[in-house]
Amino acid sequence: MKITISKENYLKAIAEAESEGETVKAATLSRWLNVTAPAVTMAIKRLKRDALIRVGEEGHITLTAAGCEIANRILNRHHLIERMLTEIFGMEWYKVHEEAEQLEHAVSGDFERRLVEKLGAGEACPHGNRVDVDTPADRRRRGLKTLDDSTGSEAVAVTSVYERDRRLEYLEGLGVRPGSRVSVEARNADDVLTLLVDGRPVQLGRFGGAEGVGEGGVMPFTLALPAPAGTTRREYS
């Protein structure tokens, strides 16, 4: 069985979409990869033929063990390339995802091993994400939640962001990045959050599926951990 770049992209997209809480169907992959519905249909047939995915009665797509192994290998290479670009070459964290998308298929096993020797394994990527598939349920078990779930007057520490979103540079400009601490001040009727970032009020609303990551729209793709006990708002100003 030949594993093409196209197959790798589909398998990785399924794993990433599941990590972001989506139920993966053909329409999900069409939107995720920006390809036509007929192209997705053909790809699904090939992946199913090669026993890399399962397709349920309602079109729900999941990875088989073999498909998951390939997806994890590409995710790991993507993760290492992002770290290489930031930790070795000093590239801004919000730029490295697109670069890694282009380079991940060209990395050999030997180069991957050299990167692990240089950077170490198990560290989070520049966006704060784990290298393996990390579902919303997994994150909730670790005490994480999205900003969408945060309530008013709550201090949180940003641990990670959904790296596919196009607004990462915008967030960086606001001071919202992995490792930053913010205070959730209020939520209005339109689900717009008012955050206090470095003493400045910042408003963030839902981002629609066409430009964000989810069909129903999500708050700006940050995962937040409640700030440590004893933290005061003065720490954020």
Domain ranges across the chain: 1-129, 136-236
| Banded model confidence at residue 165, pLDDT cuts 50, 70, 90 | confident
pLDDT at 177: 87
pLDDT reading at 228 higher than 90: no
Measured torsion, CA atoms of residues 137, 143, 144, 146, in degrees rounded to the nearest 10: 80
Q: Helix or strand or coil: residue 175? A: coil
Structure letter (DSSP) for residue 233: G
Question: What CATH class does 1-129 carry?
Answer: mainly alpha
> What is the pTM assigned to this prediction?
0.81
The pLDDT, as a whole number, for residue 166 is 76
Superfamily of domain covering 136-236? Ferrous iron transport protein A (FeoA) (2.30.30.90)
Distance in angstroms (rounded) separating the CA atoms of residues 221 and 172 = 13
The pair of structure tokens assigned to 216 is 């129903």
pLDDT at 118: 95
Does residue 186 register a pLDDT over 50?
yes
